[in-house]
């Protein structure tokens, strides 16, 4: 399947296809530096990510360590994971629909109203899976700050973002993502659903929803069930169980959770790192912030 202009650049390196609150683009080099040495020595053959979001680390590991045989991606956001599956399995149909939506959006005299009409269909109408994935990408590219937020009914409720020229159908990247996802296991559900894929040759990266920095930057509502202290404690128990299996584990979390993390992960390696935040309702909520990495190995390739 060629692009609309009949040119498909096969040299494009896959990158996240959505803008995601808590995405790890700005922290990526720090994460890579702190991956376990076993990636280089061949001791890791399975990569597991239970809160995949935009998948920045996954795409980097896929490129850097081609000898890793198995990849398991999971997220509780079922529409996100449906979109991953559609990109993997039917990217040509997806890009056809996205091109059509993009053309209609560009031609529309009232882009705000066009956005809300798509949002209404996304929330209320019974869509086929490819169309659902296309709407998901469109809304992500055109909504306010690329957020994904739902109300108590599970309905997407982020307002229009008013971008001047959003790239809705990045076909080169979508095809690159499709290639990167080949043979990847893609599932949706609670993070514990991945436990059957984890053994002593696995690396697990855990990036749970963060405690919001401010009321206007509340990103934890990307699923109606939320992720509170009970879930954080359950995650720490899961971390300990997978540690006993011999898996290598890395967890990232907000510095605002420092005291809780010190309690939950006592005995593991805890490191404070700097990261940039680009998604916030106001400019004051953006900039450099501190995050915490928790590892059951030494870090810095230890």
Mean pLDDT over all residues of the chain?
Answer: 89
Per-residue model confidence (pLDDT) at position 223 = 52
Return d(Cα 227, Cα 75) in angstroms, integer.
Answer: 13
CA nearest to 201, candidates 67, 92, 45: 45
Q: Using 50, 70 and 90 to split pLDDT, how confident is the model at 75?
A: very high
Answer whether residue 1 shows pLDDT above 50. no
Per-residue model confidence (pLDDT) at position 93 = 98
Answer whether residue 64 shows pLDDT above 70. yes
Per-residue model confidence (pLDDT) at position 221 = 54
Count Cβ neighbours within 10 Å for each residue of 232-267 and write b for 16 or more, e otherwise.
beebbebbeebbeeebbbbbbbbbbbeebbeebbee
Among 127-141, 194-208, 220-234, the least confident range: 220-234
pLDDT digits (tens, 9 = 90+) for 247-294: 999 999 988 888 999 999 999 999 999 877 654 444 444 567 889 999
CA nearest to 46, candidates 177, 181, 142, 184: 184
Q: Using 50, 70 and 90 to split pLDDT, how confident is the model at 217?
A: very low
CA nearest to 116, candidates 135, 131, 130, 100: 135
CA nearest to 227, candidates 238, 212, 241, 240: 212
Q: Let me know how long the chain is.
A: 302
What single-letter DSSP state applies at residue 22?
A: T
Return d(Cα 119, Cα 127) in angstroms, integer.
Answer: 12
Per-residue model confidence (pLDDT) at position 158 = 96
Answer whether residue 220 shows pLDDT above 70. no
Determine if the pTM surpasses 0.85.
yes
Return d(Cα 184, Cα 182) in angstroms, integer.
Answer: 5
Answer whether residue 55 shows pLDDT above 90. yes
Q: What are 77's two structure tokens? A: 């956001």
Q: Reduced to 3 DSSP states, what percent helix, strand and coil does the chain have, rounded to the nearest 5?
A: 45, 15, 40
Q: How many CA atoms lie within 13 A of 105 on its CB side?
A: 26
Work out the percent of the chain whose per-residue pLDDT is above 90: 73
Answer whether residue 141 shows pLDDT above 60. yes
Residues 6+ apart with CB under 8 A from 156: 119, 122, 123, 139, 148, 149, 150
Among 82-86, 108-112, 226-230, the least confident range: 226-230
Residue entry with tokens 């890395």 = 250
Give kind and range of the element (H or E) at residue 139. Answer: helix 129-142
Per-residue model confidence (pLDDT) at position 241 = 98
Work out the percent of the chain whose per-residue pLDDT is above 70: 86
Return d(Cα 172, Cα 140) in angstroms, integer.
Answer: 18
Among 58-67, 175-184, 252-261, the least confident range: 252-261
Query: pLDDT: is 276 or 194 the higher one?
Result: 194
Per-residue model confidence (pLDDT) at position 286 = 52
Return d(Cα 164, Cα 154) in angstroms, integer.
Answer: 29
pLDDT digits (tens, 9 = 90+) for 144-170: 988 898 888 889 999 999 888 899 999
Q: Using 50, 70 and 90 to split pLDDT, how confident is the model at 2?
A: very low
Q: What is the DSSP pairing of strand 202-206 with strand 269-277?
A: unpaired
Contact status, residue 222 vs residue 148, Cβ threshold 8 Å: yes
Domains located in the chain, CATH noted? 28-77+184-295 (3.40.50.150), 81-172 (1.10.1020.10)
Per-residue model confidence (pLDDT) at position 8 = 72
Give kind and range of the element (H or E) at residue 29. Answer: helix 28-33
């Amino acid at each position: 399947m060629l692009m609309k202009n009949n040119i498909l650049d096969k040299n494009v390196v896959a990158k996240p296809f959505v803008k995601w609150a808590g995405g790890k683009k700005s922290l990526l080099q720090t994460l890579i530096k702190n991956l376990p040495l076993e990636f280089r020595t061949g001791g890791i053959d399975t990569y597991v990510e239970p809160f995949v979001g935009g998948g920045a680390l996954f795409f980097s590991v896929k490129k850097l360590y081609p000898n890793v045989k198995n990849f398991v991606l999971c997220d509780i956001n079922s529409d996100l994971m449906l979109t991953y599956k559609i990109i993997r399995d039917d990217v040509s149909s997806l890009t056809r629909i996205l091109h059509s939506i993009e053309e209609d959006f560009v031609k529309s005299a009232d882009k705000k109203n066009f956005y809300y009409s798509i949002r209404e269909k996304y929330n209320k109408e019974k869509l086929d899976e490819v169309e659902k994935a296309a709407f998901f990408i469109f809304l992500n590219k055109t909504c306010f700050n690329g957020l994904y937020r739902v109300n108590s009914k599970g309905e997407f409720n982020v307002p229009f973002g008013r971008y001047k020229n959003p790239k809705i159908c990045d076909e080169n990247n979508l095809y690159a993502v499709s290639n990167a996802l080949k043979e990847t296991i893609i599932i949706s559900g609670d993070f514990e659903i991945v436990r059957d894929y984890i053994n002593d040759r696995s690396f697990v990266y855990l990036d749970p929803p963060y405690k919001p920095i401010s009321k206007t930057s509340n990103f934890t509502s990307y699923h109606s069930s939320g992720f509170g202290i009970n879930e954080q404690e359950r995650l720490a128990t899961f971390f300990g169980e997978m540690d006993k299996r011999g898996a290598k584990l890395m967890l990232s979390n907000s510095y605002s959770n420092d005291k809780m993390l010190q309690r939950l992960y006592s005995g593991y390696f805890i490191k404070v790192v700097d990261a940039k935040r680009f998604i916030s309702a106001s400019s004051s909520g953006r900039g450099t912030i501190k995050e915490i990495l928790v590892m059951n190995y030494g870090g810095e390739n230890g």
